[in-house]
Amino acid sequence: MNNVAIELRGITKCFGSVVANSNVNLKVYKGEILSLLGENGSGKTTLMNMISGIYHPDQGHILVNGKEVVINSPHDAFEYKIGMIHQHFKLVDLFSAAENVVLGLDGEGRFKLDEIEKQVLEISNKYGFNIDPKKKIYDMSVSEKQTVEIIKVLYRGADILILDEPTAVLTPQETQKLFDILRRMRADGKAIIIITHKLHEVLELSDKVAVLRRGEYIGTVNTAEATEESLTEMMVGKKVELNINRPEPVNPTERLRVMNIDCKNRDGVKLLDNVSFSVNAGEILGIAGIAGSGQRELLEAIAGLQKLDSGSIIYNNPKTGAEEELRDKSPLQIRELGVRLSFVPEDRLGMGLVGNMGVVDNMMLRSYRRGKSIFLERKGPTELANRIIQELEVVTPSAETPVRRLSGGNVQKVLLGREISSSPTLLMAAYPVRGLDINSSYLIYDLLNEQKKKGVAVIFVGEDLDVLIDLCDKILVIGGGCVSDVIDARSTTKNEIGYLMTNTKKGRRASDE
């Protein structure tokens, strides 16, 4: 018997004329962790979907334990002991952990839930999970839900585990816990494939790294012989400067002051709880927190899109020196006050842009009201569109092509380009590099820094803590709608931020203010 758990030979997959995977060769041994590395759109997910039976390769062979197999459905994949843990959990909220684990399994008669719970606990103890099989999903944190997903595939006897960006939703501490568990599974002889684009995690966890670039299989290297630089070069195809600039703030003065704001959702749950902070002109304020901790509500409150129950949002107009109250004002009223607020929302195509419209029409979103005529003026927006396409190197067939057809990076350039073009005094960007390739990401960081140098107050909501620490001047950590702390980005560590993300103490004073 050889020790190869799963092998891919010459896998090619095309969608129409688009080649998603071209001649990919992979080998994962038992008791090995392989990282599958590649930028967005490089074909990682397509490849894994072929292993888990969602797509079929056009060419090539899949071998499990040395035997060629045809995997037609996720059910087939389980027969071959392949289990995939998706990025988006597929769990029934109202069921307990144990119920979710057995959901969809064949069996005669009634399930004996006691026994299942016992088995779940056994698996859990074996690998060091920490889970209560009786707990309902709706009571669980993100990391607990992920645990249930992993136990689900282990319960079905999976020997080959595929994890699709498992750390994207976790704090640094939770990530460490997950890595410990994965290491224990490795020791137990499981073959693990982990999809990620976080380089330091790749280096820390895996034994081997396979790199894809635009569907092409670039190669597999031993992690021990790789560095962040060498991996990036493999991913991008050329050397990339991985340093983010952080110019010193020049003459920072307070631009925006948020005081004790509260807001609740329809069920009366507090989304923002007594949030206070201030942003200075010429500085980048980072906002860190687990996804859904109130970041969106906070930005939307400032933009006039979220009703507040109490508190105050004060804007210092640099031109007139006047202090303006923004609370309870509509976006249009805020604009009429002379507040030059630009906002790059998290949902680019669903909020910042109209997917079915071209670049020109999307430029018009901000400017169409100008002038007294009842008809649209298209000349200005067309010029702006062409300028943005040229200056930011937006790849698009034409300025009229619907923006939803553009890649994520180009969509973001269009959106950020439009927001910057109105020369803002306050710029808010929510996850502006999510889903972008490395080059586009660095272009976005440069654009934000440029705004900072122009004296714009920038608020940057990010998920990658390394980037937040390198780019921002201050970092506000938010947890469950409360401000945990505002810290100096130059002297903090990832662990400190991670700790603050989950350990919110009300009434804690910002240490550096």
Interface residues with other proteins (CB under 8 A)? 10, 12, 14-19, 22-23, 56, 58-59, 61, 70, 72, 303-305, 330-332, 335, 343, 345, 347, 350-357, 361, 364-366, 368-369, 373-376, 397, 405
Q: Which is nearer to other proteins, 55 or 445 (CB)?
A: 55
* 151: helix, strand or coil: helix
Q: How far is the CB of 431 from other proteins (least distance, A)?
A: 16
Q: How far is the CB of 305 from other proteins (least distance, A)?
A: 6
Q: Which is nearer to other proteins, 257 or 366 (CB)?
A: 366
Q: Which is nearer to other proteins, 123 or 365 (CB)?
A: 365
Beta-carbon neighbour count of residue 386 at 10 Å? 15
Q: Say if CB 200 and CB 228 are below 8 A apart.
A: yes
Q: How far is the CB of 450 from other proteins (least distance, A)?
A: 24
Per-residue burial over 399-433, b if 16 or more Cβ lie within 10 Å, else e, is beebbeebbbbbbbbbbbbbbbbeebbbbbbbbbb
- Which class for 109: exposed (0-12), middle (13-18), buried (19 or more C-beta within 10 A)? exposed
Q: Which is nearer to other proteins, 401 or 493 (CB)?
A: 401
Q: How far is the CB of 89 from other proteins (least distance, A)?
A: 24
Q: Say if CB 497 and CB 477 are below 8 A apart.
A: yes
Q: How far is the CB of 330 from other proteins (least distance, A)?
A: 6
Q: How far is the CB of 375 from other proteins (least distance, A)?
A: 5
Per-residue burial over 226-262, b if 16 or more Cβ lie within 10 Å, else e, is beeeebbebbeeeeeeeebebeebeebeebbebeebb
Residue with token string 């645990």: 147
Q: Which is nearer to other proteins, 13 or 452 (CB)?
A: 13
Q: Say if CB 504 and CB 479 are below 8 A apart.
A: yes
Q: Which is nearer to other proteins, 14 or 221 (CB)?
A: 14
Q: Which is nearer to other proteins, 85 or 339 (CB)?
A: 339
Q: How far is the CB of 22 from other proteins (least distance, A)?
A: 5
Beta-carbon neighbour count of residue 68 at 10 Å? 10
**In 3D, which of 75, 83, 47, 85 has the Cα closest to residue 164?**
85
